[in-house]
Chains A and B, each alone.
Chain A
Amino acid sequence: MDKPSDTLAKRITDRLVKNGLFTEAAANKAQALIASGKMSPEDWRLPIELATDKEECDS
């Protein structure tokens, strides 16, 4: 059985992708880090910055 943190991390990253805050690739990378508590402030910043930039470029 998956640990609760693993299950929750998957739900969180799915919603972040759905809201355009993470790309799919970034979400896949971040999932284990979020679950294990190793998602540092910079780990949070980079994917959201990239996704924001991408959104700005696309719009």
Chain B
Amino acid sequence: MSTPALRKLSIAHLRGSVAPFSLPFENNKKLTVVYGENGTGKSTICDAFEFLGKGRVGSLENRGLGRPHKYWPSLGKNSSDVSVTLETVDGATCSATLIKSDVVINPEGNRPSIEVLRRSQILALVEAKPGERYNAISRFIDVSGIETSENNLRQLIQSLTKNRDVAVARVQENEDSITQFWTTAGKPGADALAWAKIEAHRDPNAADAETAALASIQLAYTNLLGYPTQLEEAIRDLNTANLKDDDARIALENCATSVAADAKEVVKILESAKDYYLAHPSPHACPLCESSENATGLGARIDQKLGNFSAIQTANSNLTQAANALQRAAQQMEQLNKNYEKSRTAFEDSRKALPVAEDIRPCATSCPTEINQLGSWLEQTADLPAAWKTAETNRQDSTRFLATLKQALETYLHNVDAQKELDALIPNLEKAHEIVIEERQKFTDLILSNIATEVGRLYEAVHPGEGLNKISLELDPKKRASLEIGASFCGTTGTPPQAYFSESHLDTLGLCVFLALAALDEPAESILILDDVLASVDEPHVERLIEMLYVEARRFRHCVITTHYRPWKQKLRWGWLQNGQCQFIELSKWTNTQGLTLIQSVPDAERLRILLAESPPDPQLVCAKAGVILEASLTFLSQLYECSVPHRSTNLYTLGDLLPSIKGKLRNALSVEVLISAGDGGSTHQPTALGPILDELQRIAQARNVFGCHFNSLSFELLETDAIGFGQQTLMLIDALADPVAGWPKNKKSGRYWANAGETRRLHPLLAPQ
């Protein structure tokens, strides 16, 4: 969607607008030239645009005013009195007001994009330090976000490269360890790694089973070692018990024989009776004979009787103990045999389970079933446990070695994988990093090159053929955000223009840089304000600069140029410049009561037309105005065809000099094709011969002096129709020659005729006929 054209700018109490001021914009004209002498308020108009678009007033900045916003209101006015409103052709408005020091925009969505260049800033970009110059264009080339991401990628590559170096070192270390294991193992197989992989695949349980079997047989053998001693002790105990039992038996026999034949039985009866009396301390009768006689004191008498048999009792007790001891010894022997059988069975099981291996000595003979044969068997096999222990230790060492080898191989393979992964990844990261750098440099170089080319193009338009168009903008690779500007000078490129260019050339360069930058940022939506930027441009270049501004203004939403360059006013007045797209506004003298005021200026040809249309027309005014216009027209033709006029030091020529200079074949050949719009929307060129007009003008040319310049009694005798005719013929001539919009036909690019912009006028011939 295109941004609507401007209709009106209203300013109230901002800077020089002490009274409300309106600047109307003409339809279909994107360039407004505001002409005014110094102090007429041109900068106030620029301030108003900047106030609205940027919320600031640049003309007051850097003037040592402190906070300049207090000077924004007109003298005697307050902040609340300030307002600027821009109205567009679709009826939309955007206003800026001031609340204390804050600029309030309403509505914000309609706020226009404004680019302002003032006379004081024109050299800012050219003469700025490289860093400040960079800041001015950073919004077009600022890719700091990309640079941060690029830096992160660089850090990643550096970090992973370090990791890779570590992985490589570790792989080497692991290889060395495995080679060492391989060497220790006697370098079996083709190479260390192949051997390690085979070894790592070995079943660690196989060695574990052998180790367990060896441990088991050693334990079983150790268990057997105690039996010979135990057997000896058991036999000794049994023999002792047997002897004691025999002795006790004999002692008892001997004692009983000496006491009574039946003493033994009697003692038994008495002991039984005593046991009875202990349970029944006061019986009524004898438990044997049931006689109550002598029952009293029977217990005491039994104790007494038994005392008589104590020797027998002792012998009897000893016999009991000996018998018990013998029984225990027999039981121990029996238990020993049972235990031995268990241990023997366990050993036999272990012996049978003992794996067959080169370094495992088998037990050739079975463990004897008889315990008493064990001793000699143990003597025969005494060296076996040490051999088994050695075999077990060897296996334990082998298991530990395998575990260590396996771990080393796993670490090696892990590090090899990590290295391989990084070997594949890092080149791709580096490639990505190269792409980011390349694209960034290409991107900024292209933007800078485009800006520089554009600056060169604009500069060439103003300074054609001077060879100064090779402008370069380069980022200093050693310094971040530093922009160097270079230009060609006397065949040397890249020279700093500040060092060699004239003030005027630098001004033009500054303007071209500004225009090139302003055009980068959606110019169709931007209003370009150039405040008095022509001031120091020298005369030979100013016309081309103006033409360039005409062309460049078309790219923007609107362009406002303020100037006090008087020739511009005159050239526009005489149609020497294309003013089809240009609205010319003149400011009159500023006063402290009215502020800014406009002068309605009308081109001279239009004034003549108005004078002729009056009823009745004033001959004096008509002739005076027509004379000036005719002089301008004849000057144009005589210069174009290099006609001969009297050579004077003043370079001032009268109609009497100019009219006859266009003569003969040239006068007859002069004709203008005027572009006429047809009713059907098309257009056609209609020829107008200038010869008859010039002939008639030459006939009545005296009317100019007689009526227009002096009080002359001759005028009493001349016909007023000649005076009006002089005005009408002059108007016909200027209408034929100059288009009020597209100007004079000064371009001979066609090769056949002179033409103005858009070829609304085609002047023939191209060359004066000889």
Contacts and interface: CB of A to CB of B under 8 A. Distances in A.
Contact of A56 (B424, B436, B439, B443): B424
B425 A45 contact: yes
A34 B429 contact: no
Which of A7, A39, A56: most chain B CB closer than 10 A? A39
B310 interface: no
Interface string A12-27: 1001100101100000
B432 A35 contact: no
Contact of A8 (B139, B143, B153): B143
Interface in B136-170: 139-149, 152-153, 155-156, 159-160
Contact of A37 (B149, B429, B447): B149
Interface of A is mostly: helix
Contact of A16 (B140, B159, B432): B432
A41 B159 contact: yes
B753 to A, nearest CB: 44
B71 to A, nearest CB: 34
Contacts of A16: 432, 435
A4 B444 CA distance: 9
Contact of A48 (B143, B144, B432, B440): B432
Contacts of B431: 19, 21
A48 B139 CA distance: 31
B61 interface: no
A5 B143 contact: yes
B149 A45 contact: no
Given A5-B142, A34-B146, A41 B156 contact: yes
B435 A7 contact: no
Contacts, number: 92
Interface in B107-146: 139-146
A35 B144 CA distance: 8
A20 to B, nearest CB: 9
A11 interface: yes
A21 to B, nearest CB: 5
Contact of A4 (B159, B160, B425, B443): B443
Contacts of A42: 156
A15 B527 CA distance: 37
A44 B440 contact: no
A4 B156 contact: no
A44 B139 CA distance: 26
Q: Which of B141, B146, B155, B429 has the most CB of A within 10 A?
A: B146
Contact of B439 (A12, A38, A40, A45): A12
Contact of B424 (A1, A34, A38, A52): A52
B153 A39 contact: yes
Given A7-B443, A11-B443, A38 B149 contact: yes
A36 B435 contact: no
B428 interface: yes
Nearest to B427: A52
B625 to A, nearest CB: 51
Contacts of A48: 425, 428-429, 432
Interface in B417-440: 424-425, 428-429, 431-432, 435-436, 439-440
Looking at B143, B440, B447, the one whose CB has the most chain A CB atoms below 10 A away is: B143
Contacts of A15: 435, 439
Contacts of B521: 1
A52 to B, nearest CB: 5
Interface residues of A, number: 32
A9 B149 CA distance: 10
B450 to A, nearest CB: 12
Given A16-B435, A44-B432, A48-B432, A37 B145 contact: yes
B522 interface: yes
A34 B440 CA distance: 12
Nearest to A41: B156
Nearest to B520: A1
B443 A34 contact: no
B443 A39 contact: no
B145 A21 contact: no
A37 B428 CA distance: 20
Contacts of A52: 424-425, 428
B152 A41 contact: yes
Nearest to A1: B522
A39 B143 contact: no
Contacts of B153: 39, 41, 44
Given A8-B439, A39-B152, A45 B142 contact: no
A34 B443 CA distance: 15
Nearest to B433: A44
B556 to A, nearest CB: 15
Contacts of A1: 521-522
A4 B143 contact: yes
A24 B718 CA distance: 91
Contacts of B447: 4
A19 B429 CA distance: 12
Contacts of A33: 149
A51 B435 CA distance: 16
A44 B424 CA distance: 15
B432 A21 contact: yes
A45 B436 CA distance: 14
A42 B436 CA distance: 16
A58 B144 CA distance: 36
A14 B140 CA distance: 21
B149 A34 contact: yes
A8 B146 contact: yes
Interface in B433-458: 435-436, 439-440, 443, 447
Contacts of A44: 149, 152-153, 156, 429, 432
Nearest to B148: A37
Interface in B513-533: 521-522
B762 to A, nearest CB: 42
A52 B424 CA distance: 8
B148 to A, nearest CB: 3
A4 B143 CA distance: 6
B164 to A, nearest CB: 13
A49 B425 CA distance: 6
A39 B435 contact: no
A49 B160 CA distance: 13
Contacts of A39: 148-149, 152-153
A10 B305 CA distance: 131
Contacts of B160: 45
5 contacts: A12-B436, A34-B149, A37-B145, A44-B152, A44-B156
Given A15-B439, A44-B149, A44-B429, 14 more contacts: A1-B521, A3-B142, A4-B139, A5-B146, A8-B143, A8-B146, A12-B436, A16-B435, A34-B149, A35-B149, A41-B152, A44-B432, A45-B156, A49-B425
Closest 3 CB pairs of A and B: A37-B148, A41-B156, A39-B149
Interface of A: 1, 3-5, 7-9, 11-12, 15-16, 19, 21-22, 33-45, 48-49, 51-52, 56
